[in-house]
Amino acid sequence: MKGLGQLINQRDWMGDVRMKLLAGPILIIMILGMMILPLPPFALDLLFTFNIALAVMVLLVSMFTQKPLDFAAFPAVLLFTTLLRLSLNVASTRVVLMNGHEGGDAAGKVIEAFGTFLVGGNFAVGLVVFLILVVINFMVITKGAGRIAEVGARFMLDAMPGKQMAIDADLNAGLIGEEDAKQRRAEVAQEADFYGSMDGASKFVRGDAMAGLVIMVVNIIGGLLIGMMQHGMSFADAGETYTLLTIGDGLVAQIPALVISTAAGVTVSRVNTDQDVGQQMISQLFINPQVLILAAAVMGLLGMVPGMPNLVFLIFTTLLGALAWYLIRQKNQLLVRQDIAEAPAPVQEAPEASWEDVQLVDTLGLEVGHRLIPLVDSRQKGELLGRIKSVRKKFAQEVGFLPPVVHIRDNLELAPNSYVLTMKGAEIGRAEAHPGKWLAIDPGQVSGELQGAPTKDPAFGLPAVWIDSNQREHAQVYGYTVVDASTVIATHLNHLLHRHSPEMLGRAEVQKLLDKLSGDQKSLVEEVVPKAISLTVLQRILQNLLDEDVSIRDLRTILDTLAEYAPQQQDANELSALVRIALGRAITQHWFAGQDVLNVMGLDAQLEQVLLQAMNGNGALEPGLADTLMSQAEQALERQEAAGEPLVLVVQHSLRAVLARFLRRRMRHLVVMSQAEIPDDRTLRVVTLVGGR
C-alpha cells in the first residue's frame, strides 16, 4: 500500500509538471486560434471578462511585490496579455462587422455595456473617451515606463562589474559562503535580464495602443460600408450602430491595456526595499505631522476664498488636521514610554566586592562608539553580528581552528563613529565606520571620482571614499568596490584574525584539535603527543606555520611528519621546516592555485652565495649586508607586484627560515618558500631577481 501511494503521488507530480510545461504552448495556440476561428458572442463575453480580471491581477501582483525580481515573469506576461487583447480585437471585429446590423448586443453583452452604459450611448462622447485613454496609455504611461526600463537596463549593465566585485570581496572576506555568492551572482544577472526584457516588452504595449487606433478607424469605415452596401442601412443608422459597437470594443480592450501599462510602470519604477509600493507610500507620505499641518493650513485658506467649494476644502482640512493630531499624539506616547523605560533605578546600597567582580581579559574584543551601536544591536536588525559569525566560520574552515568569540561592548570614550579591535586586552586595530553610508574602495582601476569623505580601507590600506547611498550605483559603474559599514568592520576583523592567528592558538585550542583527530587517528595522536613531543612544542610548531599564513587543517600530515622526525629532532623551528616540506603541495596550491608554471622571485646567484657563507659562519647577517638585502628585496617586490605575479620568493632550504624571519618584519605580504616545498609536477620559473638587474 505504501508503494502504491508513492506511485500515485509520483504520477500526480509528473502530471503537474506536464501541465506546467504545456501551459505556455496551449495558451499561444488558443490566442492564435481566436484570430482565425469565429467566436460566438457569449465566448467573447467570457474572454473579455477574463482579460479584465487578468489585468487587475497583474496590477495587484505588481503592487504587492517588494522587488522587481519577485515578478520576474512580468515581461512574458506583458507579451501574452498584449497578444490576447489583439486576438480579442480581431475576433470582436469579425463579429461586429458580420452581425453589427442586428443590434447593440450582436457582439456580446460586454461590448454593448461598454458602448452604451459607460458613455451613455453617445458615440461622440465614447470616441473622445477612447481617444483620451489611448493618449494616456501611449503618451504617458507606456512611454514613461519604457524610458525607465531602458535607463534601468543600461545602468544595471554598467553596474554589473562593480556588483560582481562586491560579491567577490564579501566572499573573500568570509562574509558569505560559496552558495550565497552563486545566488547573488545569479540575482545580478537576473536583474539585468529583467530590465532588458522590460525594455523590449514595453514596445509591445506602445504598439498595442497604436493598433487600437488603427482597428477603431478600420471598424468604423468598414461598418459604414457593410451597413450601407450589404444591409441597406442609412448612413446615420449605420454610423451610430457600428460606431457604438466599435467604441465599446475599443474601450473593453483599452481599459485592461491601461491597467497592464500601469502595472509595468509600477514594477520598473519601484525602489528595492523590504516594503511593497503601498507600504512605501503610506509610510513616507503620511508619517510627518508637520507636513500634514501645513497641508491642512493651505487647504483651509483655499476653503475660505469666496467662490470656492468651501465644504469640500474644509472637509479635507479637517481630515488632514485630525491625522496630524493623531500622529503627534502617538509620537508623544512613544516618548513617554521611552522616558519611563530609561528612568534611573532607585539608589541601593553598594554590595561588598566579590570574586564575581573580577573581569578576565577577553581574547578578542570589539569596542564601538555610540553611533555604531545599531550595527551590533540585534533588536535594531544590526547586520554586524551575523557577519562576525560568518567571519569566524570561514576562518575556521580555511585556517584550521576555531577563533575565540568576539565580545562586543560600547565605549562612550571613543569617537561616535570609531571602533577598536582588541586581543587579550591590547588594541590591534582602530578605524571609523559610518552607518547608512557606503565605503567605495579604489582597487586601482577606477574610471571616475566620487564626492565624499576620503579615507583608507582599514583592512588593506587602499584609497577609499565614504559616500551616500545615492552614489552607490555610480561608484560601481566607475569600478569601485562598494561595501557597507558592517562589511568594512567584518573585513577588518577577518584581516586581523589571519594576521594574529598564532597568538590566538593556545594550548586549549591545540588540545581540542588533538581530541577532534583522535576520533579517527587515536594511535597517531598518542604516538606523537606526549610520547614524541610535548603539547607545548606542538603548539609552537603550529604557531610557526600560522605565522607564515600556512593552514593547519591537515593536522594528520603534520603529526605523521612529527612522528617520523621528532624522535631524532626536538627543536621546534627545525621540525616546523620539515612539516612545511610535507605540506609543500598545499602551500603551493594556496599561492598558485591552478597554475602549472610558477612565476616567482629568486635570489641572484652572487647574493645567494654571500648569504650562504654568512649562514655558515656565525649565522647572522652583517648590518651592511642586511640593509642591502632589505632594499633589494623591496625593489624586487615592487617589480613583481607591478607585473601582477604572486609575491613569492623561492630560496634554498637552508636559507628559507632566516630570510622569512628577516624580510617579513617589514614586508608582511611577502611569502618565502623553500625549493624543497615545490612539488615535482610544477615548473618553477624565476621572473624577478633579488639583487639582479
Residue closest to 484 by CA, chosen among 386, 563, 564: 386
| CA terminus-to-terminus distance, the chain | 83
Domain presence at residue 308: yes
| Cα–Cα dist 150/162, whole Å | 20
Distance between CA 64 and CA 60 in Å, rounded? 6
CATH of the domain at 452: 3.40.30.60
Q: Please name the helix (run of DSSP H) or strand (run of DSSP E) that holds residue 688, with its range, or none.
A: strand 683-690
Residues 266, 409, single domain; the answer is no
**Could you tell me if residue 189 is inside a domain?**
yes
| Domain limit, last residue, from 501, 518, 544 | 501
The CATH number covering residue 664 comes to: 3.40.50.12790
Range of the domain at 111: 37-280
Q: Are residues 194 and 276 in the same domain?
A: yes
CA distance 242 to 355: 98
Whether the link from the prior residue into 530 is cis, omega within 30° of 0, is yes
**Among the listed residues 282, 261, 266, 281, the one whose alpha carbon sits nearest the alpha carbon of residue 68:** 266
Report the alpha-carbon distance of residue 158 to residue 477 in Å, rounded: 5
Cα–Cα distance between 34 and 253 in angstroms, integer? 15
Same domain, 477 and 380: yes
* Pair (491, 523) in one structural domain: no
Are 688 and 553 in a shared domain?
Answer: no
> Which three three-digit cell numbers place residue 186?
545569479
Percent of the chain scoring above 90 in pLDDT: 22
Q: Is residue 12 part of a domain?
A: no
Q: Extract the residue ranges of the chain whose pLDDT is less than 50.
A: 1-5, 7, 13, 17
Asked, for residue 62, whether it belongs to a domain, the answer is yes
Please give the angle made by the CA atoms of 62, 68 and 73, to the nearest 5 degrees.
75
Instruction: Indicate if 325 and 378 belong to the same structural domain.
Output: no
Does 602 lie in the same domain as 579? no
Question: Is residue 438, in this structure, part of any structural domain at all?
Answer: yes
pLDDT recorded at residue 256: 79
Residue 584: give its domain's CATH number.
1.10.8.540
Backbone angles phi, psi at 333, to 5 degrees: -65, -40
Q: Mapping DSSP to helix (H, G, I), strand (E, B) and coil, where does residue 462 land?
A: coil
Q: By the 8 A CB rule, do 456 and 464 touch? A: yes
Given phi > 0 = left and psi -120 to 50 = alpha, else beta, which region is 479? left
> CA of 561: how far to CAs of 454, 557, 603, in Å?
50, 6, 29
Pair (322, 388) in one structural domain: no
Last residue of a domain, one of 477, 501, 525: 501
Question: What's the total number of domains in the chain?
Answer: 5
- With respect to residue 3, please indicate whether it lies within any of the assigned structural domains: no
> Can you give the pLDDT at residue 494?
92
The CA angle 418-420-426, to the nearest 5 degrees, is 155
Distance CA 224, CA 238 (A): 5
Q: Is residue 30 part of a domain?
A: no
For residue 597, the SS3 value is strand
List beta partners, residue 467.
Answer: 438
* Same domain assignment for residues 319 and 429: no
The pLDDT assigned to 100 comes to 65
CB under 8 A, 24+ apart: contacts of 412-420? 412/369, 412/370, 414/367, 414/368, 414/369, 415/369, 416/369, 416/370, 416/371, 416/372, 417/369, 417/371, 417/372, 418/368, 418/369, 418/372, 419/366, 419/367, 419/368, 419/369, 419/372, 419/489, 420/366, 420/367
pLDDT recorded at residue 271: 57
Please give the Cα distance from 170 to 162 (Å, whole number).
Answer: 12
Reported as type and span, the H/E element at residue 466 is: strand 463-467
pLDDT score recorded for residue 502: 93
Q: Is residue 32 domain-resident?
A: no
Are 267 and 118 found together in one domain?
A: yes
3-state DSSP: the chain helix, strand, coil percent, rounded to 5?
A: 70, 10, 25
Q: What is the reported pLDDT for 13?
A: 46
- CA 246 → CA 210, 222, 250, 610, distances in Å? 15, 10, 6, 100
What's this model's pTM, rounded to 2 decimal places?
0.59
Do residues 254 and 158 share a domain?
A: yes
Let me know whether 577 and 625 are in one domain. Answer: no
The predicted pLDDT at position 4 comes to: 45
